[in-house]
Structure 1
Amino acid sequence: MTGHHTLRETELAIERQLSGAPVRHDAMMAVSNIYRAAAAIRQHFEASVLRGADLTWTAFVVLWVVWIWEEMETRHVAEEAGISKGTLTGVARTLEGRGLLERASHATDGRRVLLRLTDKGHELMRELFPAFNAEEAFVVERLSRSQNQALTESLRTVIEHLEEGGEERRAALRAESPPPPRRSGRRPRG
């Protein structure tokens, strides 16, 4: 159970609340289950394999991205990890303080910062990843190899669709509904 209610209880409540509504129930359930699965997986990893390493999911993803790409500009690390640059700043400081990550100036532009793992960070990832992968296998152990491949392909299709057409769709939706004015906390001028 990933929340207060089981998946089935949630699905029944949704059916009750939205019966007869003109919505794509199949799309809603697919996206809802992607979200719930991601949350359940994240919680499982943080309470198991990452707990022993004293890492949050986000910290692990940052380490993973930098480990895989070896050295990367902060803005690209944030994009790859799916977090804001502000969140990355805090996570990177924590990882740097633990001696796992280091910052370096960009060779041609001093305003840009690169991240790379320290020797200690490399050692942690080499030790941690086999245990992490064992939990990945646990998460999907009820699926056959062919089901895992089908799931992978289905999710890849969703991701590629968003990569190819998502920005255009978001721009069109923003144009139809401009954001409300920012609230500065000040009273409007008379």
Structure 2
Amino acid sequence: MAGPHTLTETERRVQARVGGLPLDYSAMAVASNLFRAANAVRNHFERTVLSEHNLSWTAFVVLWVTWIWEPIETRQIALEGGFSKATLTGVLSTLERREWLTRERSANDGRLVVVKLTDAGRELMDGLFPAFNLQEQAVTSPVDPSKREELAEMLRVITAAVEPKN
């Protein structure tokens, strides 16, 4: 439950409020439930596996993106993570203080900043990600395992339709 009302209560209240309008209710249900599910999953990860390392969701995403793509420019981290450069700057400072990553000017273009994990940052991610995946398994456990790939593909289609084209 994200707020004081259950999902079912919220859907009933929405139907009562807007039921007379000519709307696509299935589209509304998909979009609102997608948003609610994403927030619930994010909060679950922060309360469980990420809290053990005093990490926010954004800090984890920065570490994850860097772990996968390093070395990586800060602007690419912001794009991959879906957050502003200002937010990224604060998170990078925190993670750098914890000695999990480093920032340095690009050798090719001094205006750009390149991020790399430290050995401690790689060790953190090597240990953290299997624990994170256990929580991924937990949050997807209500979905029949034979239908998870289909659900993942549906979410990919929605994401591709709304993400800015590069």
Give the TM-score of the pair, scaled to structure 1. 0.84
Q: How does 1:156-167 map to 2 (within 5 A)?
A: 156-163=156-163
Give distance in 2, aligned partners of 1:154 and 1:162: 13
Name the CA distance, whole Å, in 2 between partners of 1:33 and 1:85: 28
Q: Which residue of 2 aligns with 1:55?
A: 55
The answer for the alignment partner of 2:70 in structure 1 is 70
User: What amino acid is aligned across from residue 109 of structure 1 in structure 2?
Assistant: D
Structure 2 counterpart of 1:45: 45
Instruction: Name the SS of the counterpart of 2:116 in structure 1.
Output: strand
Q: Percent identity?
A: 50
1:186 aligned partner = none
TM-score w.r.t. length of structure 2: 0.96
Residue 13 of structure 1, CA deviation: 0.7
Question: Tell me, what secondary structure is at the counterpart of 2:110?
Answer: coil
User: Whose Rg is larger?
Assistant: 1
Q: Using the alignment, how far apart are the partners of 2:121 and 2:40 within structure 1?
A: 26
| Structure 2 spans left out of the alignment, 5+ residues | none
Partner secondary structure for residue 72 of structure 2: strand
**How far off its partner does 1:162 sit?**
2.1
Partner Cα distance (2:52, 2:94) in 1: 16
| CA offset digits 1:34-66 (Å, max 9, x no partner) | 100011001111111000011000000110000
| Number of residue-to-residue matches in the alignment | 165
The alpha carbon displacement at 1:3 in A equals: 1.5
What are the equivalent positions in structure 2 for 1:78-93 lying under 5 Å apart?
A: 78-93=78-93
Report the Cα offset of residue 116 of structure 1.
1.0
User: How far did residue 159 of structure 1 move?
Assistant: 1.4
Runs (5+) with no aligned partner, structure 1: 168-190
Give yes or no for the alignment of 1:137 onto 2:155. Answer: no
- Give, in whole Å, the separation in 2 of the partners of 1:108 and 1:11: 53
What SS class does the counterpart of residue 60 from structure 1 fall into?
Answer: helix
TM-fit CA distance, 1:146? 2.2
Tell me the amino acid that sits aligned with residue 114 of structure 1: V
Q: Would you identify which runs of 4 or more consecutive aligned residues in structure 1 move more than 2 Å? A: none
SS at match of 1:75: helix
| Deviation of the 1:74 alpha carbon | 0.4
Work out the CA distance in 2 between the residues paired with 1:30 and 1:64: 28
Match of 1:147 in 2: 147
The whole-number CA distance in structure 1 between the counterparts of 2:22 and 2:87 is 38
Task: Write the distance in 2 (CA, Å) between the matches of 1:146 and 1:157.
Answer: 19
Alpha-carbon shift at residue 107 of structure 1 (Å): 1.3
| CA shift for structure 1 position 97 | 0.6
SS at match of 1:14: helix
Instruction: Tell me how far apart the structure 2 counterparts of residues 100 and 13 of structure 1 sit (CA, whole Å).
Output: 46
CA distance in 2, matches of 1:101, 1:5: 40
Aligned to 1:116: 116
